[in-house]
């Protein structure tokens, strides 16, 4: 098969990054993310470049596989296109890349070939609004178990571009603009591109004005006509009660500023909740194990247990066996974005004393004989 008959859409294998199979359930994806996020969190890797890179890849993978819509799209389009349509295109092999660049290195890339062959030689263009929109950014925030349980306000520092105050984001002195001289105010330019299939004419957004058809009459000296400046600042984040590790808080319009007045991107804060040694968390439900003395297990009684923020009394019926679980309704965590609370589950463990006094031993022997 000729080399040009092999197409590839390059994609990271997010399943491999999280160490799971493609058929993994939502809970398995979440559990794998939690385990890896805790292992490679910057607080643990302490500035290790490889660890930080791994942490970013893990979060990137979870942002896709943890979202049903994005996962479906990734499963459909994120891998190599094998046997595409009826053309019989095969998957691209790694060794073919070097051969391709040697033979056709001065020609257009895969995007050009794909668009030319399947799109009639006309590339799909971004709208000016989309082209000038600021980028979304992602941040990571660590919260305590108590902060996640009750909600909190947390401060974090970020570095992002903000609207230039000198020109109000227009990029122009006094906001005055003139027609773009590269596209003559049309916002589009026509270019010819040479591919291995021939020369194709394409209409694309003007890179000088990004489709607006205008440029500053006199560029702002503060931002040099960009309409935005990089700034480091501290922002306050509202942590909702009941949030869990791996969940994301979206702050609309808090991402990078747009180009020359374009809409700002969004800020996504990925949350990591520190564990509490007293509890195991499963969604809004909490689990813990309590020791139970042999006499209380046999005769019944009452024990004190730790709940989230209080001590509770738990009645133990006579004849309780080790491993039995008691459920305390509404004593778990708040249900995120819902009303009500989860439950607290108490598993009892009967503790057998290893050392006995002579009196205790005789009493137990009498009990044994009686039973």
Q: Is the pLDDT of residue 9 over 70?
A: no
pLDDT single digits (tens) 107-154: 444 455 445 444 444 445 567 777 789 999 999 999 999 999 999 999
Unique residue bearing structure tokens 């923020």 = 309
Residues in the chain: 371
Cβ atoms < 10 Å from Cβ of 262: 21
Range scoring the smallest mean pLDDT among 24-28, 89-93, 288-292: 89-93
Residues of the chain above pLDDT 90, percent: 51
Q: How far apart are the first and last CA of the chain?
A: 85
d(CA 32, CA 20) in angstroms, rounded, equals 7
The mean predicted confidence, pLDDT, of the chain is 82
Q: What mean pLDDT do residues 70-93 have?
A: 52
The CA-based angle 154-155-159, given to 5 degrees, is 140
- 236 or 120: whose pLDDT is higher? 236
Whole-angstrom distance, CA of residue 139 vs CA of residue 248: 10
Three-class secondary structure of residue 154 per DSSP: strand
DSSP letters for 221-282: TTTTTSSEEEEEEEEEEEE-TT--TT-EEEETT-SSPPGGGPPP--EEEEEEEPP-TT-EEE
The residue-averaged pLDDT of 172-182 equals 92
Percent of all residues in the chain with a pLDDT value above 70, rounded to a whole number: 81
pLDDT of residue 51: 79
pLDDT band at 196 (very low <50, low <70, confident <90, very high): low
As a whole number of angstroms, the distance between CA 104 and CA 291 comes to: 72
Return the closest-CA partner of residue 324 out of 355, 354, 303, 353: 303
Task: Please say whether the dihedral angle defined by the alpha carbons of residues 324, 326, 332 and 337, taken in this order, is positive or negative.
Answer: positive
Place of tokens 């006509």: 225
CB atoms inside a 10 Å sphere around CB 249: 16
The answer to whether the beta carbons of residues 245 and 239 sit under 8 Å apart is no
pLDDT given for residue 126 in this prediction:
62
Structure confidence by residue, pLDDT tens digits, 36-71: 888 887 767 666 778 788 888 888 888 888 888 888
Pick 99 or 199 by higher pLDDT.
199
CA distance 139 to 320: 49
C-alpha 148, offset from chain centre: 17
pLDDT band at 245 (very low <50, low <70, confident <90, very high): very high
CATH of span 1-106: 1.10.287.110
What pLDDT, on a 0 to 100 scale, did the predictor assign at position 81? 33
Exposed e or buried b for every residue in 164-187, given b needs 16+ CB within 10 A?
Answer: beebebbbbbeeebeebeebeeeb
pLDDT of 47 reads 66
Reference 301, options 288, 289, 291, 314; nearest CA is 314
Residue 167 DSSP label: T
pLDDT at 197: 65
CB 172 within 8 A of CB 244: no
Query: What per-residue confidence (pLDDT) applies to 67?
Result: 87
CB distance 245 to 269 below 8 Å: no
Coil vs helix vs strand at 194? strand
pTM: 0.59
- The string of pLDDT tens digits covering residues 256-303 is 999 998 999 999 999 999 999 999 999 999 999 999 998 899 999 999
- Nearest 5°: phi and psi at 30? -65, -45
Give the model's confidence band at 335: pLDDT under 50 very low, under 70 low, under 90 confident, else very high: very high
Look up residue 350 and give its two tokens: 């009967």
Confidence band of 178 (pLDDT split at 50, 70, 90)? very high
Per-residue pLDDT reduced to its tens digit, 336-361: 988 899 999 999 999 988 888 999 88
Q: State CA 192 to chain mean position distance.
A: 40
Domain ranges of the chain: 1-106, 280-370
Nearest to 55 by CA among 66, 42, 72, 69: 42
The domain 280-370 having CATH identifier 2.40.50.140: the answer here is no
Question: 161 phi and psi, to 5 degrees?
Answer: -85, 140
């Amino acid at each position: 098969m000729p080399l040009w008959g092999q197409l590839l859409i390059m994609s990271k294998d997010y399943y491999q990054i999280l160490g799971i199979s493609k058929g993994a359930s939502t809970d398995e994806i979440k559990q794998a993310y939690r385990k890896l996020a805790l292992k490679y969190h910057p607080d643990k890797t302490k500035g290790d470049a490889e660890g930080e890179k791994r942490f970013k890849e893990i979060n990137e993978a979870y942002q896709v596989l943890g979202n049903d819509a994005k996962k479906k799209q990734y499963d459909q389009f994120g891998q190599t296109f094998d046997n595409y349509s009826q053309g019989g295109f095969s998957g691209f092999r790694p060794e073919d890349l070097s051969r391709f660049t040697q033979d056709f290195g001065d020609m257009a890339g895969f995007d050009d070939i794909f668009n030319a062959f399947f799109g009639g030689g006309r590339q799909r263009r971004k709208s000016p609004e989309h082209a000038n929109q600021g980028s979304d950014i992602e941040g990571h925030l660590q919260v305590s178990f108590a902060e996640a349980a009750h909600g909190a306000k947390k401060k974090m520092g970020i570095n992002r571009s903000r609207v230039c105050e000198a020109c109000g984001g227009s990029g122009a002195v006094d906001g005055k603009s003139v027609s773009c001289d590269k596209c003559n105010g049309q916002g589009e330019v026509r270019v010819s591109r040479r591919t291995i299939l021939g020369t194709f004419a394409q209409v694309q957004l003007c890179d000088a004005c990004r489709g607006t058809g205008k440029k500053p009459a006199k560029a702002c000296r503060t931002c040099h006509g960009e309409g935005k400046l990089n700034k480091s600042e501290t922002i306050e984040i509202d942590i909702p009660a009941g949030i869990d590790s791996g969940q994301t808080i979206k702050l609309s319009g808090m991402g990078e500023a747009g180009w020359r007045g374009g809409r700002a991107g969004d800020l996504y804060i990925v949350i990591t909740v520190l564990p509490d040694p007293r509890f195991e968390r499963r969604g809004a439900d909490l689990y813990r194990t309590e020791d139970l003395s042999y006499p209380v297990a046999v005769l019944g009684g009452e024990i004190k247990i730790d709940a989230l923020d209080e001590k509770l009394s738990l009645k133990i019926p006579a004849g309780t066996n080790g491993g039995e679980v008691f459920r305390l309704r509404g004593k778990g965590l708040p249900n995120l974005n819902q009303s009500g609370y989860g439950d607290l589950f108490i598993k009892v463990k009967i503790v057998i004393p290893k050392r006995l006094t002579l009196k205790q031993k005789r009493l137990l022997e009498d009990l044994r004989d009686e039973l």
